[in-house]
Amino acid sequence: MCGIVGILGSKPVAIDLVDALRRLEYRGYDSAGIATVEKGKLDRRRAEGKLRNLETRLHEEPLKGHVGIGHTRWATHGRPTELNAHPHMSDRVSVVHNGIIENFRDLKQDLQAKGHKFTSDTDTEAVVHLITDGLQRGLKPIEATKEALSRLHGAFALAIIFAGEDDLMIGARQGSPLAIGHGKGEMYLGSDAIALAPFTDTITYLDEGDWCVLSRDTSVIFDKGNRRVDRPTIKSVASSLLVDKGNYRHFMAKEIHEQPEVISHTLGNYIDMAAGIVKMPALGIDLSEVNRVTISACGTAYYAGVVGKYWIEKYARLPVEIDIASEFRYREVPLQPGGLSVFVSQSGETADTLEALRYCKRNGQTIASIVNVRTSTIARESNTILPTLAGPEIGVASTKAFTSQLSVLACLALALGRARGTLSPETEQELVKALTELPRHISTLLHNETVYEELAHEISKARDVLYLGRGVSFPIAMEGALKLKEISYIHAEGYAAGELKHGPIALIDENVPVIVVAPEDELFDKTVSNMQEVAARGGQIILISDAPTERAGCRLLAHIKMPKAHALTNPLLYAVPIQLIAYHTAVFMGTDVDQPRNLAKSVTVE
C-alpha cells in the first residue's frame, strides 16, 4: 500500500519525512519521494526503488523546507519509474496520494483541453492540475482544494502543500486512512499512527469523507458536506506496536474499514488502470493452453475459491474443480498435465492447503498461490505467487484478506478469459472499470453501521441462523454463516437458496433469522420464491439487496439496501454487510471478537 506523510515543522523536515516513510515500508512500495516549500517555492526529490536511493538523491541535492510531504508508492497507474513517483506537482501545488481517482481520464481530458501539461501516467497528476486550475482562476488554496475534492470520484487519501504557503497543509480522506498528528508547534499527517510515532502519540483519525486544513498550531476538520466537525483525539500506542487499532474498538472493525484501501491496492497490482486491462504476472504457463483449473483452500479462503470458480467458468469458460484442501489431499484426484492449480491462503502456512499443493505439484500441475504472506511456505513452494496486498490481518476472523483474495481471483478470471478469447476487449474494459469502482462502493457501505447495531439485538437472540444465496452469492452466504459462527458462537449455516426445500426448510420458524444475499440479477426472482417459502413458515427475513423493498414480495425483518454495482463485483460488495452483521452481533454479545475461542490465525496442523 502506498504510504503518506506530511510535516509542518519548526526546522527542515526532509530527514524526518524519510524517517516516517521508513516506518511505512512494511506496507510495500517501489518508489519514493518528498517535496518541500523552501523560500516560497516547491521543490521535490524522487527515486525508484528503496528509500536509500531517495536518501542518496537528497544527499546530493538537499531540500531545506520546513513544510513537506512524502510518499512511498506501490504502482497502480503507470510503471514504478521516477517520473511516476510522488509527489506530483505544478509550480503552485504538490500532492501525494494513496488510492484510485476513478474519473482521472475525464478530468485529464478536460484539463489538457485547458492547456495543462501532464508529465506522468498517474491518476494523481489530475488532482495537481485540478487544484492548479482553481488557483489560476484566483481561488485561494483552501477554496481551490475544496472545489477539486468535489470533482474527484474514487477511494483515496491526499496530502497537499502549496507554493508561497509556509504554514499550510491540506489532507483528505475518502476510502483510504489518514491521521493527523499533533506536536508542539508542529503538525503532521500520516497514513497511520505508526508513521508518526517518532514525532507524536497524539492522533486524530479522519472519518470517511473528511478533509482537514492544518497549520503548525491548528487543525480544522470538515466533513463531506464541508461542515466543520470535531473528531476525537486519542493517545496512540503505535510506537510499541507495528500495527495498532487506530480509533477502532477491535482489529476486525479496523480491517473491515481498510477494505476500500486494500482492494484498491491489490487491484492496482493486477490492473493497468490507464489502459483499462488486467495485467497478470507470468504464471509459468500459457494461459490460452490451460485445460483445467483446480482450486484448493480452507475456510474463508475456500469460499473465496468458490467465487473464483463461478467467475472462471463464466468469463473464461474453463472447467474448474474446487475442494476443501483437507478433502482434496486424500481424494486421489486424477490430474492431467496442462492444468493450473490455484491455492488460496492468507497465512500461506495452512497445513492442509500446503499438502494439497504438494499433491498437485507431484502430479505435474503448474502451481499459483494467492497468499498474503509472501515469505510463507506455500508461496515458496509455488511456481508463481499472486500476492494479496491486504497488509497484516490481526483479527482471527478473516475480512480484508477475503476481499483481497476475491480481487485477485477476479483478475485471474479476466486474464484467463482474455487469453482464451472468451472476453472481448470491450467486455474486459467494462469489467475492469467495474473493479476500479468497487473501493468507492465499499466506502459508501461503511458510512452507516446503525442498521447492523439494531440487527445485532435480534440476531443475538437466535439459536440458529440460516444464510441463503444463489449462484455466486451462495459462497457469500456460506462465508456469512462462518463469520457469525466464529465470533458470536451462534450456530449458522449457508445454503444454496434452491436447496432450502430439500431439507433445511424444516428448521424454519419465527425464531430463525434467515439472511438472504440477493443482488437484483437474473436469479433474483428465483431467490424471491425461496424467501416467500420462508415467510410462509414465519421465518424472519433479513434481505441484503440492491432491489427495491417491494420486490421482496413478503414481510422483511430488515432490508440492508445495497448500492447498484456490476454483477462481477457483487460478491466483494455483499461480503461487507455479512462481515458487519457478524461483527456487531459479536460486539453486542460481548465475545472476544479478535481472538474467538478455540481458533488460531494460522492453522499449521492437519
270 and 408 in contact (C-beta within 8 Å)?
yes
- State yes or no: residue 346 binds ligand F6R (CB under 6 A): yes
Q: Quick one: which of 347, 377, 443, 540 contacts ligand F6R (CB under 6 A)?
A: 347
Q: What is the 3-state secondary structure (H, E, C) of 146-189?
A: HHHHHHCCEEEEEEEEECCCCCCEEEEEEECCCEEEECCCCEEE
- Shortest distance, position 249 Cβ to ligand F6R, whole Å: 18
Displacement of CA 31 from its chain's centroid (Å):
21
Q: Say if residue 30 is exposed, middle or buried (CB neighbours under 10 Å; 0-12, 13-18, 19+).
A: middle
Distance of alpha carbon 519 from alpha carbon 547, whole angstroms? 7
236 binds ligand F6R (CB under 6 A): no
Catalytic residue at 212?
no
State how far the Cα of 512 lies from the Cα of 510, in Å rounded to an integer.
6
- Residues 517-556, mask of contacts with ligand F6R (x by CB under 6 A): ----------------------------------------
φ, ψ at 358 (rounded to 5°): -65, -35
Work out how close the CB of 309 gets to ligand F6R at its nearest, in angstroms, rounded to a whole number: 17
* 398 touching ligand F6R, by CB under 6 A: yes
Cβ distance to ligand F6R smaller for residue 89 or 397: 397
Contact flag: residue 301 with ligand F6R (CB under 6 A): yes
Please, what is the minimum distance in Å from the beta carbon of residue 103 to ligand F6R? 35
Residue span binding ligand F6R (CB under 6 A) among the ranges 250-258, 288-296, 347-355, 443-451: 347-355
Q: Which amino acid is at 484?
A: L
Strands laid side by side in the 219-222 sheet: 88-89, 93-101, 154-162, 169-174, 211-214, 219-222, 228-229
Of 347 and 570, which CB lies nearer to ligand F6R in the complex structure?
347
Q: How far apart are CA 97 and CA 309, in angstroms?
A: 35
Cell numbers 424444516 correspond to 506
Query: What's at 590, amino acid-wise?
Result: G
The distance of closest approach from Cβ of residue 599 to ligand F6R in the complex, given in angstroms and rounded to an integer, is 8
How far is residue 406's CA from residue 19's CA, in Å, rounded to a whole number?
34
94 binds ligand F6R (CB under 6 A): no
Stretch in the footprint of ligand F6R (CB under 6 A) among 12-20, 98-106, 299-307, 526-534: 299-307
Nearer to ligand F6R, 14 or 298 (CB): 298
Task: Give the integer Cα–Cα distance in Å for 393 and 348.
Answer: 13
Residue with Cβ nearer ligand F6R (352 or 428)? 352
Q: Is position 2 annotated as part of the catalytic site?
A: yes
Closest CA to 454 of 555, 558, 589, 563: 558
Catalytic residue among 361, 433, 561, 601: 601
Q: Which residue is nearest to ligand F6R (CB)?
A: 299
Stretch that binds ligand F6R, among 95-103, 219-227, 295-303, 522-530 (CB under 6 A): 295-303
Interatomic CA distance for residues 255 and 399, integer angstroms: 7
208 C-beta neighbours (distance < 10 Å), count:
18
| Residue in this structure with the C-alpha cell 457501505, named with its chain if needed | 445
Q: Cα–Cα distance between 185 and 183 in angstroms, integer?
A: 6
Number of residues that bind ligand F6R (CB under 6 A): 15
- How far apart, in whole angstroms, are the C-alpha atoms of residue 419 and residue 408? 16
Shortest Å distance, C-beta 343 to ligand F6R: 8
State the nearest-atom distance from the C-beta of 397 to ligand F6R, in Å.
Answer: 4
Angstrom distance (rounded) from CA 268 to CA 291? 28
Separation CA 79–CA 277 (nearest Å): 14
Q: Which is nearer to ligand F6R, 300 or 488 (CB)?
A: 300
CB of 494 to ligand F6R, least distance (A): 13
- 397 touching ligand F6R, by CB under 6 A: yes
CA gap 108, 219 in Å, rounded: 31
Residue from the set 236, 350, 403, 530 that interacts with ligand F6R by CB under 6 A:
350
Q: Which of 90, 219, 345, 444 binds ligand F6R (CB under 6 A)?
A: 345
Of 513, 409, 526, whose CA–CA distance to 470 is shortest? 526
Which of the following is catalytic: 2, 298, 360, 411? 2
Confirm or reject binding of residue 298 to ligand F6R (CB under 6 A). Answer: yes
User: Amino acid identity of 503?
Assistant: G
What x/- string results for residues 478 through 497 when contact with ligand F6R is judged by CB under 6 A?
----x---x-----------
- CB 404 → ligand F6R: shortest distance, Å? 11
To the nearest whole angstrom, how small is the minimum distance from the Cβ of residue 40 to ligand F6R?
A: 52
**Interface segment toward ligand F6R; rule CB under 6 A; list 46-54, 340-348, 356-364, 421-429:** 340-348
Q: Report, as residue numbers or ranges, the catalytic residues.
A: 2, 601
The binding site for ligand F6R (CB under 6 A) comprises 298-301, 345-347, 350, 353, 397-398, 482, 486, 602-603
